[in-house]
Amino acid sequence: MNNQNEINTLRNSAYLYDFDIRDNLTSDIPFYLTYGDAAKGGVLELGCGTGRVSLILAENGFHVTCLDISDNMLAVFEKKLDEKPQSVKANIEIVKGDMADFSFRKKFGLIITPFRAFQALTDENDIQNSLSCIRDNLADNGIFIINVFRPYDGMGEEWVYAEKVQWERIDEKTGIHIVKKHWGDKIDIKNQIIYPHYAFEITKPDGSFERTVDNLALKYYKYEQLKTLLIDNGFSILEKYGWYDKSNIENGRELIFICRKAVKNTYER
C-alpha cells in the first residue's frame, strides 16, 4: 500500500479539493447516472474522496457505499453530508479503507473508481488484490467502471519538470487568494509511475500566507495494458470510451472501460 507515508491521500489540500476540481470535471457525473439500472443494485465508489460523485448518486436515490483511505478527504465528505437532508444521508455509507484490500457482506450492482482513483495503486500486488476484491464484491450481473488517464506516446522525462502555476483564483466566499502549483521530480518509465506534487499557496484577506504540499505516485496504463489487466483478472469488457460523453476511445483523453465479471475459466482476450 502506498499510503503509509501519506502519498496519494491529498491530506494537506483535502479542504481545497472541490474548489480545485469544480471547473475541470462535472461531465463524469451524468455519465455515471446513465448506469442507473446497475446502480439500483447498490453502488460502491472506491476512492470516493469528498463525495463529489457519491453525493449526487445518493441524491438520485441510489444507495452508495463510499470507501477512501484518506481521513482528511473523508472529513470533508462528512461535513458536506451533514448539510444534506435525511433522505440523502440514508443513502450514504462512508467507510475508511484501502481499495487494495476490502470486503463487504453484500455484492454491488455497480462499482466505480471515478477521476482516476485506481491509478493511486502502484504496487503490482495491490493492483491484483484490488481487482480480485472488486470481482468478489461485484454482483454476477453487476458493472465495474474503471477510468484512468490516457498516457501519450513516448511519455518520459518531460514528466520531470520545475514547479509551475496551474491556476490562480480568489475564493469569492472567503476572499482567500489561492495559487495551485505543481511539479514532477521523477518518472519510473519501467513501472509506468509518475510522481507529481501539488502545492497550494494561500493568502488570506488578513495577509497571512500558507503553503501546503501533497505528494502523489500514479501508475499509468496504455490502452492494451489496461484491457489485458482487466481480462486477465476475470472481467469482460462491455463498452469502452475516451470521454464521459461516450465518445470513441481511440481519440479521448481518458480510458474508460465498462466491465462485467467474466464467467470463471472462460477469460478471453
In the bound complex, what is the minimum distance in angstroms from residue 207's beta carbon to ligand SAM? Answer: 31
Q: Say if CB 111 and CB 57 are below 8 A apart.
A: no
Is the CB of 21 or the CB of 262 nearer to ligand SAM?
21
User: Cα separation of 159 and 221, whole Å?
Assistant: 15
In the bound complex, what is the minimum distance in angstroms from residue 53's beta carbon to ligand SAM? Answer: 5
In the bound complex, what is the minimum distance in angstroms from residue 68's beta carbon to ligand SAM? Answer: 4
User: Cα separation of 150 and 84, whole Å?
Assistant: 35
Query: Residue holding cell 472462460?
Result: 266
In the bound complex, what is the minimum distance in angstroms from residue 123's beta carbon to ligand SAM? Answer: 10
Q: Say if CB 135 and CB 147 are below 8 A apart.
A: no
Q: Say if CB 68 and CB 54 are below 8 A apart.
A: no
Is the CB of 192 or the CB of 203 nearer to ligand SAM?
192
Q: How many CB atoms lie within 10 A of CB 229?
A: 16
Is the CB of 97 or the CB of 175 nearer to ligand SAM?
97
Is the CB of 3 or the CB of 236 nearer to ligand SAM?
3
| DSSP labels, 30-62 | HHHHTTHHHHTT-EEEET-TTSTTHHHHHHTT-
In the bound complex, what is the minimum distance in angstroms from residue 18's beta carbon to ligand SAM? Answer: 8
Is the CB of 16 or the CB of 67 nearer to ligand SAM?
67
User: Cα separation of 252 and 155, whole Å?
Assistant: 16
Is the CB of 42 or the CB of 49 nearer to ligand SAM?
49
Is the CB of 95 or the CB of 263 nearer to ligand SAM?
95
Q: Hey, what amino acid is at 17?
A: Y
Is the CB of 70 or the CB of 159 nearer to ligand SAM?
70
Q: Could you say which DSSP state residue 160 is in?
A: S
Strands (E), the chain: 43-46, 64-68, 92-96, 108-113, 138-149, 161-171, 176-188, 193-203, 209-215, 218-219, 235-241, 254-261
Residues that bind ligand SAM (CB under 6 A): 1, 3, 8-10, 47-49, 52-53, 67-70, 73, 98-100, 114-117, 120-121
In the bound complex, what is the minimum distance in angstroms from residue 100's beta carbon to ligand SAM? Answer: 5
CA pseudo-torsion sign 143, 146, 147, 153:
negative
